[in-house]
Amino acid sequence: MLGETITVAGAGLAGYVAWGVRGRSAQVFGRSLWKGPASRRAIALTFDDGPSESTGRLLDLLARHGAKATFCVIGFHVRRLPRVAARAAAEGHEIANHTDTHPHLFLRSQAFIVNQLERAQKSIEDATGAAPRFFRAPFGSRWFGLDEAQRRFGLTGLMWTDIARDWTLSAVDIDLRMRSRARPGAVFCFHDGRELTQNPDISNTLNALEFMLPAWRDAGYELVTASELFAGPVAEMNEE
């Protein structure tokens, strides 16, 4: 009986930790947000893994449709393309920390996590003149030590309501997946880069957004940054 109890308890603990690592509403490894207030007809667009050589085309597209976004950038790419990061910030978009080299943080030491956030934070501030407010963990994977690292750099975790899977889907499938998921307070995750790949092909993402941006606008949605979405009370934002 005792052995069975220990086994059940161990399985329960393992499940709790697994949820803490990847659960979009989990607060186990640091404060994190994943949806905004349902009272506002707004969507926060976020783009991971940039900046890339194609980010300029994305910025042009967002400008044409009057949309703002949050770019969760990798320090490595910011150092490669500082002017692209600076342009995004200058055009009113938000820049968030997405680590320095896009590693899994799962099972990593606290020192490793701190170093990843610190290097990216410095590169972003050097390029844009401002320190990020939000942090998005690569692969949405978090671990012990992240809470202290976020606090040290004044960061809040940023997960997502829905993810486009645009690194693998066609433009048509991205459109089918994401357009119908629009709802007040949603945080959508797209990609303007592909991890550490240089000059990635993101044409499927751009082509899908050509259809979705005007459709969301016609449906009455504001397309805003994460900071704009989370500007009000956040009491209901972390409930599933």
Question: Hunting for tokens 């606090």 — which residue is that?
Answer: 151
Give the SS3 label for residue 187. Answer: strand
Tokens 């707004």 correspond to 42
d(CA 118, CA 99): 8
Residue 20's CB is within 10 A of a number of other CB atoms, namely: 16
Residues annotated as catalytic (active site), given as ranges = 48, 191
Residues 165-170: contacts with CB within 8 Å, 24+ apart?
166/190, 166/191, 166/202, 166/204, 166/205, 166/208, 167/191, 167/194, 169/204, 170/204
| Other C-beta atoms lying within 10 Å of the C-beta of residue 234 | 14
CA 93, chain centre distance (Å)? 13
Q: Which residues contact 75 (CB under 8 A, 6 or more apart)?
A: 99, 100, 101, 119, 120, 121, 122, 123, 124
Comparing CA positions, the residue from 206, 204, 78 lying closest to residue 130 is 78
The answer to whether 28 and 20 have CB atoms below 8 angstroms apart is: yes
